[in-house]
Amino acid sequence: MLKTIKLIKEKDPAAQSILGILLFYSGLHAMIFHRIAHKFYKWNLKFIAQLIAAFSKFLTNIEIHPGATIGERFFIDHGTGVVIGETAIVGDDVTIYQGVTLGGTGKQSGKRHPTIGNNVVIGAGAKILGSFTVGDNVNIGANAVVLSDIPENSTVVGIPGKIVRINGEKVTECIKNLNHTILPDPIQEELCELEKKIKQLQERIHCEVCIRKEEMERKLKEENKEK
Ligand SMILES: CC(C)(COP(=O)(O)OP(=O)(O)OC[C@H]1O[C@@H](n2cnc3c(N)ncnc32)[C@H](O)[C@@H]1OP(=O)(O)O)[C@@H](O)C(=O)NCCC(=O)NCCS
């Protein structure tokens, strides 16, 4: 807990004192309750675990299922409306903001919530839905809806979530060059096909213009010689 308090002080410019953090940070309160509830859950005392989780939700407006596995230094900033499902797994040094859901799609059973890597930031209102993996060092933009695997070191924004940055570089390459399992988007694929065809046509036109130019230059030279 001390590590988390230190982290909050480092990460949140609004955090003024340790006493303030202890008293006013509902994300911290929710995590303290969750650590206790999770222990009861693991001891198979699920009713007590759920009782603690429900009390925590009543106090903080943050709903973390006692079954969720959460790593070290987890920081929930603001917190209102956060929901974390039973089979969610969260790595170390993850920060999430208000309104984030780590939920299921309603179509899966068993492991039905996401696995979040280390050092991930999930923006306000983002929804991560389904049993897939978000890699280490990923930034998820505010209000994004992420529905499939995200590779490490990337930034995802929008609905459905699209990768706009990988390893600090903006993604400008045709989506065809990227992994289809990451970005299944038929409209983008159509656009890529069109882009490819336009490039081919441009190259063909350029070639023909060059050939014509060379022919004309050759003819001119021959005419000049004859004269
Ligand atoms: C996504 C985010 C992390 C920025 O990451 P980044 O790697 O620096 O990305 P950039 O700012 O370079 O943006 C890349 C592109 O995504 C767009 N973008 C950024 N955030 C976006 C968002 N939340 N939704 C939709 N598009 C977004 C940018 O406009 C830019 O588009 P462009 O390439 O067409 O210009 C940040 O914008 C964000 O949403 N942070 C969440 C913060 C938050 O929730 N704060 C709550 C405080 S209470």
CA distances from 123 to 70, 96, 120, 206 (A): 18, 6, 10, 46
pLDDT, tens only, 72-88:
999 999 999 999 999 99
Show the ligand 1 pocket: residues with CB < 6 angstroms: 78, 97, 123-124, 139, 141-143, 155, 157-158, 164-165, 170
Substitution candidate for ligand 1 out of 145, 155, 166, 171 with most atoms within 8 A of CB:
155
Substitution candidate for ligand 1 out of 164, 166, 169, 172 with most atoms within 8 A of CB:
164
- Contact (CB, 8 A) for 84 and 68: yes
CA 46 to ligand 1 centroid distance, Å: 39
Q: How far apart are CA 156 and CA 110, in angstroms?
A: 26
CA distances from 103 to 2, 44, 106, 123, 215 (A): 28, 22, 9, 15, 66
The token pair that represents 30 in the structure block? 């929710």
pLDDT, tens only, 154-209:
999 999 999 999 998 888 655 445 554 555 567 777 887 888 899 889 988 988 88
Residue nearest to atom 39 of ligand 1 (CA): 141
Phi, psi (rounded to 5 degrees) for 108: -110, 155
CA 209 to ligand 1 centroid distance, Å: 43
pLDDT, tens only, 27-74:
999 999 999 999 999 999 999 999 999 999 999 999 999 999 999 999
Q: What pLDDT shows up at residue 34? A: 98
Q: Can you give the pTM of this predicted structure? A: 0.79
Q: What pLDDT shows up at residue 173? A: 55
Ligand 1 atom closest to residue 165's alpha carbon, by position in its atom list: 7
> What count of other Cβ atoms lies within 10 Å of the Cβ of residue 56?
23
Phi, psi (rounded to 5 degrees) for 136: -65, 155
CA distances from 73 to 4, 120, 176, 194, 205 (A): 5, 12, 38, 47, 59
Strand partners, 154: 166
